[in-house]
Amino acid sequence: MRIKLLIAVLSLAQAFAFVTLVSAAVAQTATPAGTDKQAAADKPAMSKKPRAAPAEEAPKGVSIAEKAQKCLLLDDNNDRVTCYDAAVKPQPTRNPVIKGIRDCAHVADIDDRLACFDNFANQIPKFTH
């Protein structure tokens, strides 16, 4: 009986020491409240890249079809190609076989790639949400 009691007391003491060490380690890794603002002030201001298209603003859960439809709203062809390229990364090849909107990324010529994307984006049914 004494041995079981001794084991229980030692186990509790060891568990308490472990919890104390873990909480001390967490307290050391947490940043104080004022240092985030100070660290941000110390960093040089980065030049922001201008956003050319609504497809770049879309969250990760947005489908390629929705991104392509947003690109159709842009009037300037250069902005629209940039928007499509943001939705589907360009990977030019010599003789691409085009079966879907993702295959438009393989078209090397910018005007042909724009026409390919526009064709598929116009065929997508409009979303109502």
pTM across the whole model: 0.47
Confidence band, pLDDT 50/70/90 cuts, at residue 83:
very high
Measured distance CA(19)–CA(107) in Å, rounded: 59
Average pLDDT, the chain: 75
CA 63 to chain centre: 13
pLDDT of 53 reads 46
Taking only the tens place, the pLDDT of each residue in 95-123 is: 888 898 889 999 989 999 999 999 988 88
| Contact between 114 and 99 (Cβ < 8 Å) | no
For 21, what's the count of Cα atoms within 13 Å in the CB-facing half-sphere? 6
For tokens 């589907």, the residue is 88
Residue extents of the structural domains in the chain: 54-123
pLDDT of 66 reads 87
For 91, what's the count of Cα atoms within 13 Å in the CB-facing half-sphere? 9
